[in-house]
Chain A
């Protein structure tokens, strides 16, 4: 097939320029020089593109911006010329690049994660018709990571030979010439890799997973602190994006971390002194509450395209006032949320919580009594708590029949969530594959319960919005009718989800899964009690 580009590392830019000069002596060639080029690597806050094995490079070319999506090994996939770098995938025009990025990036903002600044010299190797048959790029780049603690790094100077399709012979002789030149060392590492390494950025560890490494023998209190410390880190990491409203996922991840914090406080019972639990529980509940309204509006705005598409085309425009209403309220709720984050209460909460978690003594004051479960090895505590939570799910699930009202289903959803959090907190204590498959089974049930609940809340919210919009004089009859049709559709979908429940629960509560839960958790917990 076609030859691939080959890179060499050189000691200095001068040495690289000398190499270009040597090549130019052997064949017709011309140099294109640029004193300062800039390329930006775009990715989401959680490095979704990188973690999927790619990089998205944005460079200014004339008045346009050119986006290039490559594999991490440098294989180009898509290129797209746009007028402005996109903030979100939905800003891109319909194109193969957009289609490919959409499922990875979703609603996350494309942020400049890394900037390369470099003088560039390109030697174009020509044939007798002044046609380019190969190129050699010399790039001495400095990498800048916006907002990083190591703001700048000088990258190795790279000399890269790029083939032109159909001119293999010329490329091969060029390579053999370059390989003979002194001081050129072939290299496989890309500028992107070098930049990440030198700046100490580790994109692969930035996903949602908790990644808390625990061993069964450490005391429960120490383990709980480790879990809480990791969650606090997530809260802090996302706060900036929440304040600036960069995208909806900062707040989402922030809220999940708050919820997990509360859940760990109540579910890992008796490991902290009572007064600590009692002091912080209501505070984190408050934090969940004040961040709720903004999240709700985010969710509805994210759903708008789906809402629109679910209606016949000729009435889709009637939902425009709803979009405006949601955007306006989202702005208001965001300001309220920022006020809460600026409040004394929030600042003190995080500060005191941090102090408690890092207090080497382990307790607020020396004369505090040791909590009853604090010294128990976490392996035992974990199994006991998971086993209990699991049995609760089974019991409640079995009591639900085809005619049961919605209420017990909502309770079951919450029970499942608690179980899920426990499984995630303690994942590292168990066989990865076993616990992984149980989480997967639970997730399926949770999806069903979650959709059922979600669809109910959506109907109620839309009714409330319609009422508000009517009061505020924002909605015409057409808009209210369109929203009514939406509610109808959501109701029908909710009924569908309800009908799936029995089957989904039976799958989760199957004999096989029960045996697995028992094997993993029951034996350890009964042995302890």
Chain B
């Protein structure tokens, strides 16, 4: 099982849209795919029309008292399952602190899933906390949606540096530019500079589009309601590029 996490310290940069659309495409290709909505705001869960409720909440789940297995729900799409969000996830930090090995806990919970799924997508809440640290430990590839502003690129640098200081070989960072408005010359300039500055930066650019926002209206991945539109195509390209990149 390969584990991806969509992560950014900043909110509102398209993390959930990325996790939902990429997980959908992975499953459509034929991979057994699971998405875990770790964000108490439960956007991914909402997109799949699933109730954001986990019996016993984060506490029981993290203690291993309620196996993840029993919480998983099938989405409307073949091969794609979801572990729903729960409002108690907002206190996950506190629950982790109480466990014996706070940063390892998440990774060990995922172990039993590794035979059932080819890909796991962790959709993380925007923050830097004990939860993010646990996610880093459990993750192979960190997908970082980055909007083309100077501040965002600076944040990306900080994340890069932080990961390097941790010294571990994992996770590998896979940043890409999103919410790009090609009419803005600033965006164009920053895109060019961003790709130059970050050798890991994926080449696919996700354009700004109101269609992405409409996912909340349709409560479905883009490819389901606007399959030929530009952003849907962009996510397809992004997924193809990622598959190619990680198989190297």
Contacts and interface: CB of A to CB of B under 8 A. Distances in A.
A119 B131 CA distance: 50
Interface residues of B, number: 18
Interface string B42-56: 000000111100000
Interface string A60-90: 0000001100000000001111000000000
B81 to A, nearest CB: 6
Interface in A154-169: 164-167
B73 A167 contact: yes
A131 B81 contact: no
A80 B73 contact: no
Contacts of B230: none
B242 interface: no
A167 B51 CA distance: 12
Contacts of B49: 129-131
A66 B79 CA distance: 12
Chain A interface extent, by class: 10 to 19
Contacts of A97: 30
6 contacts: A81-B28, A81-B29, A97-B30, A131-B48, A166-B81, A167-B74
A80 B29 contact: yes
Interface of A: 66-67, 78-81, 94-97, 129-132, 164-167
4 closest A-B pairs (Cβ-Cβ)? A166-B73, A165-B74, A131-B49, A80-B30
Contacts of A165: 72-74, 81
Contacts of A66: 30
Interface of B: 28-30, 48-51, 71-74, 76, 78-79, 81, 118, 219, 247
A164 B30 contact: no
Contacts of B51: 129
Contacts of A78: 30
A129 B74 CA distance: 14
Nearest to B46: A129
Given A79-B30, A166-B81, 9 more contacts: A95-B30, A96-B118, A129-B219, A130-B219, A131-B49, A131-B50, A132-B76, A164-B73, A165-B74
B50 to A, nearest CB: 6
A29 to B, nearest CB: 13
Contacts of A80: 29-30
Contacts of B79: 79
Contacts of A96: 118
A94 B246 CA distance: 13
A171 B118 CA distance: 26
Nearest to B25: A81
